Amino acid sequence: KNYLLGPFLDYYKNNAVGRLFDLDSEWYFAGNSEAKATEGNDFAHALSYVVMPERYVGGEGIGSSFVAEAYFMYGYVGVFFVSALIGLLILTLYNVKNIAALYFGFIIYDALIKAPRGPFGAIMLAAFDLNRLFIVAAVVVLALVLSRMTHAKDVV
């Protein structure tokens, strides 16, 4: 299991497109369950189920942290590298001038702020959510079409 990218991996396996290829993923939509804790890649669900199984199935949980995920997966070295990666990402986004990079930073800002008490995979999920990417692509295509229509009227 890859708990570090858990929410990202689970989302892409179990979204509408992923479900076309693997119909055995009802656990993803079932809330807190034994199947979600044991079959999923979400460290918060797995840890909550191990520590307090009855309360977890009843709807409670203890959450996660990128530090806990990195330590569980790779020890202190993992914590160092994941923390450095997040720091580098924040530093890079602070100095961006490109509109695409600025969009990326705006989208993942919330996940970055919540990273010390949330999953690392939420950063990736925020950046590459299919719904969000579809909307951005639709807006870009619409802007290009309107721009060409306006330009065509100016030429005539």
| Average per-residue pLDDT for the chain | 85
| pTM, 2 dp | 0.74
Range of the domain at 111: 6-130
pLDDT at residue 140 greater than cutoff 60: yes
Is residue 153 a part of any domain in this protein? no
Is residue 51 a part of any domain in this protein? yes
Taking residues 89-95, report their average pLDDT.
86
Is residue 136 a part of any domain in this protein? no
Rounded Cα distance between 43 and 37, Å, is 8
Per-residue pLDDT tens digits for 18-34: 667 665 666 666 788 88
Task: Give which of 12, 6, 1, 2 is closest to 128, Cα–Cα.
Answer: 12
How far, in whole angstroms, is CA 117 from its chain's centroid?
14
How many domains is the chain partitioned into structurally?
A: 1
Rounded Cα distance between 66 and 122, Å, is 10
